[in-house]
Amino acid sequence: MGEVDPAFIQEPEHRPKLCFSEAEGIPMIDLSPSREKDPCALDRLVREIGSACKEWGFFQVINHGVPLDHRHKVEAAAREFFGESTQEKNKVRRDAVKVLGYYDTEHTKNVRDWKEVFDFSVEEPTLVPSSLDPHHHDLTHWHNQWPHYPPPLRDVCQEYAKDMVKLALELMELIALSLGLPQKRFQEFFKDQTSFIRLNHYPPCPSPDLALGVGRHKDAGVLTILAQDDVGGLEVKRKSDGEWVRVRPTPNAYIINVGDIIQVWSNEAYESVEHRVMVNSQKERFSIPFFLNPSHYTMVEPLEELVNEKNPAKYKAYNWGKFFVTRKRSNFMKLDVENIQIYHFKV
200 binds, among ligand OGA, Ni ion, none (CB under 5 to 8 A by kind): ligand OGA
Is 228 a binding residue for ligand OGA by CB under 6 A? The answer is: yes
Which DSSP helix (H) or strand (E) runs through 138? none
Contact residue for ligand OGA among 157, 168, 205, 234 (CB under 6 A) = 234
Is 119 a binding residue for Ni ion by CB under 5 A? The answer is: no
CA 270, 187, 32 angle in degrees (round to 5)? 70
267 binds, among ligand OGA, Ni ion, none (CB under 5 to 8 A by kind): none
126 binds, among ligand OGA, Ni ion, none (CB under 5 to 8 A by kind): none
CB of 254 to ligand OGA, least distance (A): 12
60 binds, among Ni ion, ligand OGA, none (CB under 5 to 8 A by kind): none
The DSSP letter of residue 35 is G
Binders of ligand OGA among 65-104, rule CB under 6 A? none
Is 49 a binding residue for ligand OGA by CB under 6 A? The answer is: no
287 binds, among ligand OGA, Ni ion, none (CB under 5 to 8 A by kind): ligand OGA
Whether the CB-CB separation of 100 and 143 falls below 8 Å is answered with yes
CB proximity list for 93: less than 8 A, separation 6 or greater: 101, 102, 103
Three-state DSSP class for 156? helix
Site for ligand OGA (CB under 6 A): how many residues? 11
Report the greatest alpha carbon distance in the chain: 59
Contact residue for ligand OGA among 126, 178, 287, 330 (CB under 6 A) = 287
Q: Which is nearer to ligand OGA, 113 or 123 (CB)?
A: 113
**Span near Ni ion by CB under 5 A; candidates 146-154, 162-170, 198-206, 218-226:** 218-226
Query: Residue 159: what residue type?
Result: E
Say how far apart CA 234 and CA 244 lie, in whole Å. Answer: 10
Say how far apart CA 86 and CA 104 lie, in whole Å. Answer: 10
CB of 247 to ligand OGA, least distance (A): 8
Contact residue for Ni ion among 104, 113, 119, 219 (CB under 5 A) = 219
CB proximity list for 175: less than 8 A, separation 6 or greater: 49, 50, 53, 186, 223, 262, 270
Q: Which is nearer to Ni ion, 73 or 260 (CB)?
A: 260
Binders of ligand OGA among 246-285, rule CB under 6 A? 275, 277
CA 176, 158, 75 angle in degrees (round to 5)? 95
Q: Of 220, 209, 195, give the one whose Cα is nearest residue 295.
A: 195
- Binding stretches for Ni ion (CB under 5 A): 219
